[in-house]
Amino acid sequence: MALLEVENLQTHFRGADGVNRAVDGVSFEVNSGETVAIVGESGCGKSVTAMSILRLIPEPPGKIAGSIRFNGKDLLKLSDREMRDIRGNEISMIFQEPMTSLNPVLTVGRQIGETLRLHQGMNKQQAEARAVEMLKLVGIPEPERRVKEYPHQLSGGMRQRVMIAIALACNPKLLIADEPTTALDVTIQAQILDLMRDLKRTVGAAIVIITHDLGVVAEVAERVIVMYAGRKVEEAEVGRLFRNPRHPYTQGLLGSMPKLGSSLTGEETRLQEIPGLVPSLKKKLDGCVFASRCAYATDLCLKVAPGLEEKAEGHIAACHYALKESVAA
């Protein structure tokens, strides 16, 4: 049994001008100790998927349907109280903005200790001692001093380390990281990715990393889920996905990225564009969600939505024309 099984997740938001189908029928699994990346552009529903798992979507206007089984329990059927016991304890989350996700008027020690006192029943002294350990674990120098400091006294990279310390304090089985390095500079991003790889080895939690950066995906993930317009369009082991992307959208994403080192290999070509825009999520689409931007689209694509099919071992894609071989490039 997988640690997390998401089945036909649908998170819709009711607004004045109709229903926004932010996530529309997404299924995936995460095994214990595995790192899965969910990748896609803004508005594809990747963050809403993450928020839905922890039930952080305000209902109403949101509405979550489908099932999310964690360790066999359906999270969508739990009471608010039972859900609170899971958040920050068995499943925890790191957000993009380390500046706004920490409480500015509490010391970092108190914020790390909060989850420990709540979930593990530690007293103040125990929680503080553990907070120091956690800061040491995430590589913050002089943890005994830093534990008494406030978020504004720390740099952006250090704050993100504190966020990770909070998330890992209760030894979660699943860590959801929503764009954990997007707000950071590249040298600091390298530090944090390095830290996440190290911690994965030592702590052993499963990680779901949400990102728009295919470079980050290649660095940390074992399996990748590509989302587009609220749907999962492709899923594969990371090496396979980058070597042999099956869905035209994934191919387009990879082709639109400039590659570092292109001037050395003489591969300087014009960047591939994906023409057009993401379709509105408010209209129910009959055909393939990507058809309006796809170079290979036919009448069939406009009429019938392709189902997810296994195109190769462990490699699934939702495209009528992605057969056993890659779509003609």
Partner 1 sequence: MSAPILEVNDLKKHFPIHGGFFGGTTGYVYAVDGVSFSIARGETLSLVGESGCGKSTVGKAILRLFDITGGQVVLDGQRIDDMPSGRLRPLRRRMQVVFQDPFSSLNPRMRVRDILAEPIRNFGLASDAADIERRVGDLMDRVRLPRDAVGRWPHEFSGGQRQRICIARALAAEPDLIICDEAVSALDVSVKAQIVNLLQDLQKELGLAMLFISHDLAIVEHMTHRVAVMYLGKIVEVAPKRSLFAAPKHPYTEALLSAVPVPEPGAQRERIILKGDVPSPIKPPKGCRFHTRCPYAFDRCSRDEPVLRQTEEGHWAACHLHDRPAAENPLAGERGAAVIAHH
H-type alpha helices, 169-274: 186-203, 214-220, 238-243, 248-255, 262-265
Return the number of the residue (273 or 310) whose C-beta is nearest partner 1.
Answer: 273
Strand bridging mode 91-94 / 35-39: unpaired
Minimum Å gap between C-beta 158 and partner 1 is: 7
Return the number of the residue (37 or 176) whose C-beta is nearest partner 1.
Answer: 37
Minimum Å gap between C-beta 103 and partner 1 is: 22
Return the number of the residue (123 or 256) whose C-beta is nearest partner 1.
Answer: 256
Return the number of the residue (9 or 236) whose C-beta is nearest partner 1.
Answer: 236
User: How many alpha carbons lie under 13 Å from residue 250 in its C-beta half-sphere?
Assistant: 29
Cα–Cα distance measured from residue 199 to residue 181, given in angstroms and rounded to the nearest whole number: 15
Return the number of the residue (113 or 157) whose C-beta is nearest partner 1.
Answer: 157
Within 8 A by CB and 6+ apart from 261, the residues are none
Return the number of the residue (78 or 254) whose C-beta is nearest partner 1.
Answer: 254
Minimum Å gap between C-beta 257 and partner 1 is: 6
Within 8 A by CB and 6+ apart from 169, the residues are 112, 115, 116, 130, 131, 134
Q: What is the per-residue DSSP string for 260-325? A: TTHHHHT---PPPP--S-PPPTTSPPSS-TTGGG-TT--HHHHHSPPPPEEEETTEEE--SS--SS
182 near 214, Cβ under 8 Å?
Answer: no
Minimum Å gap between C-beta 188 and partner 1 is: 7
Indicate the SS3 state at residue 247.
Answer: coil
Return the number of the residue (230 or 252) whose C-beta is nearest partner 1.
Answer: 252
Residues forming contacts to partner 1 in the complex (CB under 8 A) are: 41-42, 155, 157-158, 185-191, 193-194, 212-219, 221, 238-239, 242, 252-265, 268, 270-275, 277
Minimum Å gap between C-beta 20 and partner 1 is: 16
C-alpha 66: how far from chain center: 19
User: What are φ and ψ of residue 67, in 5° steps?
Assistant: -140, 145
Minimum Å gap between C-beta 201 and partner 1 is: 16
Minimum Å gap between C-beta 261 and partner 1 is: 4
Written as one letter, the residue type at 76 is L
